């Protein structure tokens, strides 16, 4: 019964998952940038990315089982919450609202995931190998704070989308609650990712691309292309 419920959840979310993955693939092909944008060669990239950079999810975040998904997602959410708290200092009400929403939503999800881990996988080690994807925002303010957050959180959200879709597509979710949770994370963060892409385009003339590829419509930086 449990397996059939999980299968139903996975089947029911297949369309949304395909749309999310298709959206990411389209972005990777450059089809989702604003029609007025033109690609230009980036200048020297920043040196203060986390150890894995914004594309760490491409290289190090893979779902092996349900417990692994939950432990990785707890660490991933905790990093997002820490970064989102910095937006309390933003001058833009939209960014303060986005940060507050991420903090509230993901803190609740962290608590839920920790409860599941304690109940179903007692003694399971935490994500000791988690490598940060976000830059340090504590010394930034104004436009620099908002722009850097958006640049980093877009691929950060993509990592959560990818992990969640991996879990659903692989059939490795052992509990219907986790399958439902993964579908919710995937769809919620997919919507937030496109909201952030729009902010980045509207305010900074950039269009966040997978693996740190950025476009700017104006003549001024910063440009960045990550190692992905």
**pLDDT for residue 18:** 46
Q: How far apart are the first and last CA of the chain?
A: 41
Q: CB-based contacts of 5: which residues, under 8 Å, 6+ apart? A: 176, 179
Return the pLDDT at 135: 95
pTM for the complete prediction? Answer: 0.73
Residue 160 phi, psi dihedral angles, 5° rounding: -65, -40
- Distance between CA atoms of residues 99 and 81, nearest Å: 8
Spatial separation of the C-alpha atoms in residues 9 and 89, rounded to whole Å: 39
Per-residue pLDDT of the chain (228 residues; tens, 9 = 90+): 455 555 555 545 544 454 444 444 444 333 333 333 332 333 333 444 444 455 544 445 678 899 999 999 999 999 999 999 999 999 999 999 999 999 999 999 999 999 999 999 998 887 777 888 999 999 999 999 999 999 999 999 999 999 999 999 999 999 999 999 999 999 999 999 999 999 999 999 986 654 544 444 433 344 333 333
Cα(69)–Cα(90) distance, integer angstroms: 32
The SS3 of residue 184 is: helix
**Tell me, what's the pLDDT at 184?**
97
CATH topology of domain 57-129+138-213: Ferritin (1.20.1260)
């Amino acid at each position: 019964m449990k397996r059939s419920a999980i299968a139903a959840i996975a089947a029911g979310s297949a369309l949304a998952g395909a749309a999310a993955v298709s959206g990411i693939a389209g972005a990777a092909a450059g089809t989702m940038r604003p029609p007025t944008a033109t690609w230009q060669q980036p200048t020297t990239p920043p040196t203060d990315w986390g150890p894995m950079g914004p594309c760490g999810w491409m290289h190090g975040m893979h779902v092996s089982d349900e417990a692994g998904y939950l432990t990785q997602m707890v660490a991933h959410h905790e990093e997002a919450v820490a970064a989102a708290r910095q937006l309390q200092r933003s001058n833009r009400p939209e960014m303060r609202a986005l940060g507050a929403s991420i903090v509230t939503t993901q803190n609740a999800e962290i608590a839920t995931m920790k409860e599941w881990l304690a109940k179903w996988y007692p003694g399971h080690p935490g994500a000791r190998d988690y490598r940060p994807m976000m830059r340090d925002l504590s010394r930034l303010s104004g436009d620099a704070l908002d722009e850097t957050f958006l640049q980093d959180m877009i691929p950060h959200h993509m990592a959560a989308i990818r992990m969640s879709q991996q879990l659903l597509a692989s059939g490795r979710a052992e509990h219907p609650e986790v399958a439902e949770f993964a579908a919710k994370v995937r769809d919620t963060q997919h919507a937030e990712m496109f909201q952030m892409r729009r902010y980045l385009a509207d305010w900074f003339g950039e269009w966040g691309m997978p693996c740190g590829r950025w476009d700017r419509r104006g003549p001024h930086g910063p440009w960045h292309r990550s190692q992905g």
